[in-house]
Chain A
Amino acid sequence: MNESMKKLLIPVAVILVCAIILAAAGAGLAGTAAANAEKELNDMIAYLMPGGGEFEEVEYTGSDAKITNIYKGEGGYVLAMTTNGFVDEIKLLVAVDNDGVVKGYTVRDIHDTYGLGLGVQDDLFFLVGLMNSQGDLAVNSNIDAVTGATISSSAVVACVNAASKFVQEAGAAGVLTGTADGFMGPITVSVTMDGDTITAVEVVSNSETPEIAGGALEQIPAAIVAANSADVDIVAGATYTSNGIINAVKNALESAGGAGGALTGTADGFMGPITVSVTMDGDTIAAVEVVSNSETPEIAGNALEQIPAAIVAANSADVDIVAGATYTSNGIINAVKNALSGGSSEPEPEPTPEPTQAPQTAAEAYQGFGLSNTVRMGPGSDDTGTPVYSINQVFANVVFDGDGKILAIYVDQLEYATPNYDGASMPHFSGWPGQGGYNNDSNHDAVVDGTTPDTEEQFTEEVAGWLTKRDRGEDYVMGTGTWHEQMDAFQRLFIGMTVDEVEEWFAKYCSDANGRPLTENSSGEGDAEKYAALTDDEKAMLADVTSSATMSLNDSHGDILSAIRKAYENRVPLGAMSATGMGLGLSSTVRMGPGSDDTGTPVYSINQVFANTLFDSEGRIVAIYVDQLEYATPNYDGASMPHFSGWPGQGGYNNDSNHDAVVDGTTPDTEEQFTEEVAGWITKRDRGDDYIMGTGTWHEQMDAFQELFVGMTVDEVEEWFAKYCSDANGRPLKESSSGEGDAEKYAALTDDEKAMLADVTSSATMSLNDSHGDILSAIRASFDNMVTVDLTLG
């Protein structure tokens, strides 16, 4: 062996020896490490929830990937959670009491930046903000992110919210725990109830000998579920284990329904389910607490306060309702009845919903639709430095009286962003096909994990998947409730105001810095002075508003005010009618083409149809106002077509600025271009007489269809389309229709039907559902989104 080889053997030997020593040390210390880790975890759990009793780990069967382990005690739960912070995973423990209130929090593992992300483990204001929350936190709304650590703060807040919601749902689902002695020690079971039905029994922990007790551990829980009772036969040869399981189940059931136990019941209120906790002392109702509800505080506040107290005072759920909050009162009463009967009482028949907006009468009325399109730069950039952008479209369906006062209003909004936006449920758009796709954060962990496919399929799927903020429902949580709850509160506020008054209200009572309603704590520039100048009555009014609506009416997230203003400007007169429902439906579809420009680059467009409808009590359309926005790549050579060149940074798009079918350059790839293009988007009605079709203009054709649809239900509109329109192109049939099967379809019609069609096609020949837009789906969506109103007009 030469000298060089000998020298080489030395480091090899050192590496191997070190590895052996480390492996041996690891094996030797494994037991100690496990014991110390368990002790430390128990100490930490006890510290986070003092007085929480003895904790035991229970199996988590849900789908929230953030929850890794659950430890249940008498006083509540401690959840071990893992989430993705800015640098790496953050592991934490969250303690939540049985009411879903967050009582403790600690970070177990984090690798964020010193002075920035690490603040989520020790920033005093952040930690204080987390405490006593109930799944209702929203970063930079009701809790400030740690400075310079928005991503990690958001991740932690999402965990804390998820922990609280888990406990609230566990309570509502009726998961009970009981313990009793087996042969070798205590047996703990988890019993899942659905009303008064035992749906699952699980032995959570035991010390029994598997060879002896295995049969009982397997058979007894199944027998209890099958019998829906703890009174089942024991397994021969495992008497003590069988009785241990049976007694543990009884213990669990007694802890829920026995003396001093807390019962849980749920029933529908006006805005959603109401869950109550009823504490019994023998046969006496000792306490009733509303654990969760979605009611509007201004309307339901008295009922939420007075009904539980009245039930305790009467020791009965048969108490008088609170005037003005009938549905909330009945919801609480039925929830208590549900709890007292072990969750078994049949729910009350679903009542006809009360109008969500106060009844209105007007001799003269108008309906208008307004759309505002704005851009948002950010928030910030992704982890590769690529900016995040989004487009916000606010659309408002508003009914005005002759004086311009709002009688009914329905506002919704669509925001779609670049796919590197890391918020969940955000609709995405990757730019036009051929622009290279966009950075994608598919798992919303603030880390880009690829680029979206640069295909027409991706384009089609993304646009088809766009959901409005109302569609996003409970996923769109804000500081105070969800987006739709906040918007509902604003809508109620605006009833009876003119548009000028709405704008004056905004100017007087909202922050000049961020457009949000002022509060005592508003910290924008000049907010404190503006708030201080208000009278006590005005401050009280604002406190009332901000108890349910805190979002801005005009900021980078959308310009709601402009949409309402445009609705007023676009208003058209309504005839005499009674309306009990109001809806606004949006359909978004893509169009490939027409063709390509002279350089061979394809033309694309996006079509958004907005259907604004009023329905009567039978679901018949009593008024309808449809408008449409189409925006295309700038190489589309038609005049007056709104353009979109893709997101800044995607290189712009071929531009045919003088509409001569010859590309004469590329649009600027700047944020200014982006802003100007979106701000310039006008609807097909706005394009007015510039939008000429085969028969009249687009708005004249749409008016003719609208007139046709009044008096029909949405089903009837769809049936009309199926029967009288071409299967090939969706246009109303004519004698000369030449699509496949059109001649046969037309020939099968009666003379009266042909005459009706001739009448329709004399003014409306466009398709109701083709690549130019899906009007039918928008009308259907407006029906599906319908809210109750009470309008008597004319």
Chain B
Amino acid sequence: MSDRLFVATRKGLFTVQRRNGRWQQAPEPAFLGDPVTAVLPDARDGTLYAALNLGHFGVKMRRSKDGGKTWDEQAAPTYPPQPEGAPGAPWKLVQVWTLETGGADEPGVLWAGTIPGGLFRSQDRGATWSLQRSLWDRPERPEWSGGGYDAAGIHSICIDPRDSRSITVAVSTGGVWQSRDRGETWACRATGMRAAYMPPDRQNDPNVQDVHRMVACRSNPDVLWAQHHNAVFRSTDYASSWQEVEKPALSCFGFGVVVDPDDANIAWFVPAIKDEQRVPVGGQLAVTRTRDGGRTFDVLREGLPAAPAYDLVYRHGLDIDATGERLAIGSTTGGLWISDNRGDSWQCISAHLPPVYAVRFDA
């Protein structure tokens, strides 16, 4: 199991490490006081990447080659000059929402999903970035809209472990998009999703779907799970079609989802009351787990705080390690919990962190 967890927060990047059977928080966070919106440990070469979103001075990228002891500034993704009258959101980077590595056969390749909806690729370990114009210039893209932000954003990037040229991304709000040719061409792949917040004749439009988070199963990448604004969806045909999970436990609303890397039928969620409230159901934090592809669910609360507890877990605030045994959740109210038994029970690591944006196990 992974013995190190990175915790990206509103006030810096925290690290917790398991030593002698106990989780310990590193004494000093990196970037204390600065919002850290994404963190990426690259298993291919041990490099660590962090995306900052300075309140005044914009998005900054940092890279560490010594496990987080020291950091260098790297170029941030930038949008090209905006043509006069271009439709849609301003061509200005608002946030790096997610970072992912390219395939095992693509050393140094990184992907960044951003607000206002640009997908960026780096071929040189983050030294330079290029906007994927093939997706940005799609006529459907100006129709994307913000989900909780002023503009749309890409928050989920799945690189197919069978073929690094094949990429599936999810947009809030803009559905699911897939390329089979390393980003040269794209197709919208959200058929079967349903948007309850749209007028009736637009609810099945793939391009308006508000996917909150999408993950693919490592051992069976044809299976993808999506926590959507008003439902949980699952695809078993590589996003060609999606099926709605009929009865998710507690609530159909939530942000995070993870899937067991070795069993596509097992997935975890952190439900909340839907959009008008966004708090745990009954004021009681819970993780839910299905082991049968979404037919039934377990509600897992052992070790999580008793009600009232208003911890909300954002879309990157739930992670699973490469073994599938260890999970972590971090909340908007600064709670951090780890489970070593697939969610059956949880250990509180801290209840006093800054608001957590993302948790990520070391690769």
Is the A/B pair a real complex?
Answer: no
